Amino acid sequence: MSNAPKSLFQKVWDAHTVRELPSGQTQLFIGTHLIHEVTSPQAFAMIRELGVPVRFPNRTFATVDHIIPTDDQSRPFSDELAEAMMTEIERNCRDHGIQFFGPESGAQGIVHVIGPELGLTQPGMTIACGDSHTATHGAFGAIAFGIGTSQVRDLLATQTMAMAPLKVRRIEVTGELKPGVFAKDVILAIIRELGVNGGVGYAYEYAGEVFDRMTMEERMTVCNMAIEGGARCGYVNPDQTTIEYLRGRRFSPSEDEFEAKAAEWLALASDEGCHYDDVVTIDGSKIEPSVTWGIHPGHNLGVSEAIPGPSEVPDDDRAGVEEALEYMDFSAGANISGIPIDVAFIGSCTNGRISDLREAAKVARTGKVKDGVRALVVPGSVAVQKQAEEEGLPAIFTAAGFQWREPGCSMCLAMNPDKLQGREVCASSSNRNFKGRQGSPSGRTLLMSPAMVAAAAIAGEVVDVRKVATED
């Protein structure tokens, strides 16, 4: 073994390498495999057909999030297809001895919310899930990948997958964020800077003063959207914030071995002087509250800016900007601030955690949801829901005219009954503004931070949250 300085990515990759495959790819051991109801049933069918068992049922954990209703969760679900998917994951977990965090477990929630809160996500792990937002877990200094169903099959059968190593790009965000600027704005700014496919072939290492100061939940929001910038994986080096978050969680190391583990975790951080394939620096003090105006997350701008026209972008982006303006029915040159909204959605694996709901509630206290706007608050998990109840947040939201729902993915991708109708415009704390993403083929999504969504719900239009007087 060489003593050359290594990045965290390299250390974790090396520790999990089973062997080099004849193709030149690496056979990588995945320590924690998370599954949910949408991308796993076909994989279980495939291993049944192959006649192989689940190799590491003790390192496979399941929940239900995508299809679960957020109004009435009593069984059977009113949607027969949703009920069939639920029954299938229950059966598969039972048959293979996999721990299932369903609603009755008291620990159900969006897979990328419950992993961290249960302490299943720890520094130095490899984690995979049939969901592209798996990079969320990188906030802990884990290497976490979104995968397709064939790879879910590979993991069930072997707990390994074939993968080529990634390059590492360090993204340093320096300085201090201005008030009203959140983790969501940081990742939108990164995607705006590097593009929606700038991260292809890379793992993103997020660093710099802004990340050093962030809470774990804020780091999760940034890592969550690595894939929106094309990067399959993003991470933050573990530090004292990581350690304190993990102390005392259900699957965290026990008290008597915790300090020793914590020391091991800290040692995983990228070594001084290690090789990076690329380094990018972004001035955090220049980031504004951001809003998307188009049909992918790279189509975003500061709330004080005007929507760009085709002539203002590089040639290669022109057709995309024209397509986006046409779909959104927005005019080039118009301010994003003042665009009317019909729906407000607070939730998702990006921004459905307790700190997100607290920030939104601060804004919700200042007024009432505008007449004609439908506003939903969907906690990311049962634990988030309970914590919010203890803090009295549901009462604040409902008094302001928001609906307070049961946990799930909900209107982020609208596989449950929570959907946009027709051409509705939704201010959303989720992660994708693709055409039709929120359940209506012609629906329109504006991504922003939870506080910005709450402000938009009250104003009935996109507003700068910095102009909302909250008691802080």
Applying the rule CB under 8 A, the residues between 76 and 95 that interact with other proteins are 79, 81-82, 84-85, 88
**Contact flags string 198-217 toward other proteins, x per CB under 8 A:** --xx----------------
The region of 98-106, 177-185, 222-230, 338-346 touching other proteins under the rule CB under 8 A is 222-230
- Tell me if 221 contacts other proteins by CB under 8 A: no
- Tell me if 232 contacts other proteins by CB under 8 A: yes
Choice between 316 and 472, CB closer to other proteins: 316
Cα distance between residue 241 and residue 124, in whole Å = 15
Give the strand pairing for 343-346 and 300-302: unpaired
100-124 b/e with 16+ CB inside 10 Å = b?
Answer: bbbbeeebbbbbbbbbbbbbbbbbb
How many CB atoms within 10 Å of residue 49?
9
The region of 16-24, 335-343, 399-407, 464-472 touching other proteins under the rule CB under 8 A is 16-24
Name which of residues 330 to 349 contact other proteins (CB under 8 A): none
The distance of closest approach from Cβ of residue 470 to other proteins in the complex, given in angstroms and rounded to an integer, is: 34
The distance of closest approach from Cβ of residue 114 to other proteins in the complex, given in angstroms and rounded to an integer, is: 18
Sheet strands (E) in 293-396: 300-302, 343-346, 374-377
Residue 281 φ/ψ, nearest 5 degrees: -120, 135
The region of 74-82, 239-247, 344-352, 389-397 touching other proteins under the rule CB under 8 A is 74-82
- Tell me if 130 contacts other proteins by CB under 8 A: yes
Structural contact between residues 229 and 199, judged by C-beta atoms closer than 8 angstroms? yes
Name which of residues 102 to 121 contact other proteins (CB under 8 A): none
Give the DSSP H/E element, type plus range, for residue 113: helix 111-118
Structural contact between residues 36 and 65, judged by C-beta atoms closer than 8 angstroms? yes
* The binder of other proteins chosen from 160, 224, 350, 449 (CB under 8 A): 160
The distance of closest approach from Cβ of residue 106 to other proteins in the complex, given in angstroms and rounded to an integer, is: 24
Name which of residues 18 to 37 contact other proteins (CB under 8 A): 18-19, 21-25, 27, 29, 31
- Tell me if 122 contacts other proteins by CB under 8 A: yes
- Tell me if 70 contacts other proteins by CB under 8 A: no
Structural contact between residues 26 and 165, judged by C-beta atoms closer than 8 angstroms? yes
Q: One-letter amino acid identity for 109? A: G
Residue 285: C-alpha distances to residues 44, 181, 218 (Å): 48, 9, 17
- Tell me if 164 contacts other proteins by CB under 8 A: yes
The region of 41-49, 167-175, 206-214, 464-472 touching other proteins under the rule CB under 8 A is 41-49
- Tell me if 424 contacts other proteins by CB under 8 A: no
The distance of closest approach from Cβ of residue 310 to other proteins in the complex, given in angstroms and rounded to an integer, is: 14
* The binder of other proteins chosen from 125, 139, 188, 349 (CB under 8 A): 125
Where do we find the tokens 């592209």?
132
Count residues binding other proteins (CB under 8 A): 85
Structural contact between residues 332 and 308, judged by C-beta atoms closer than 8 angstroms? yes
Choice between 95 and 389, CB closer to other proteins: 95
Choice between 284 and 347, CB closer to other proteins: 347
Choice between 43 and 453, CB closer to other proteins: 43
Where do we find the tokens 């302490």?
119
The distance of closest approach from Cβ of residue 366 to other proteins in the complex, given in angstroms and rounded to an integer, is: 34
The distance of closest approach from Cβ of residue 443 to other proteins in the complex, given in angstroms and rounded to an integer, is: 10
- Tell me if 421 contacts other proteins by CB under 8 A: no
Structural contact between residues 172 and 166, judged by C-beta atoms closer than 8 angstroms? no
Provide the β-strand partners of residue 344: 375, 427
- Tell me if 98 contacts other proteins by CB under 8 A: no
If phi > 0 it is left, if psi is from -120 to 50 it is alpha, else beta; for residue 439 that is left
Residue 390 φ/ψ, nearest 5 degrees: -60, -30
* The binder of other proteins chosen from 8, 38, 93, 225 (CB under 8 A): 38
Length of the chain equals: 472
**Contact flags string 269-298 toward other proteins, x per CB under 8 A:** --------------------------xx-x
- Tell me if 196 contacts other proteins by CB under 8 A: yes
Choice between 147 and 468, CB closer to other proteins: 147
Structure tokens at 275: 């090789």
Name which of residues 132 to 151 contact other proteins (CB under 8 A): 132, 134, 146-151
Q: How big is the chain by its Cα radius of gyration, in Å?
A: 21
- Tell me if 352 contacts other proteins by CB under 8 A: no
Longest dimension (CA), the chain: 65
Cα distance between residue 407 and residue 394, in whole Å = 13
Structural contact between residues 404 and 411, judged by C-beta atoms closer than 8 angstroms? no
Between the two ends of the chain, the Cα-to-Cα distance in Å is 52
The region of 160-168, 272-280, 373-381, 399-407 touching other proteins under the rule CB under 8 A is 160-168
- Which positions ≥6 away from 287 have C-beta within 8 Å? 177, 178, 181, 185, 186, 189, 302
Choice between 26 and 385, CB closer to other proteins: 26
* The binder of other proteins chosen from 10, 13, 34, 39 (CB under 8 A): 39
Sheet strands (E) in 336-391: 343-346, 374-377
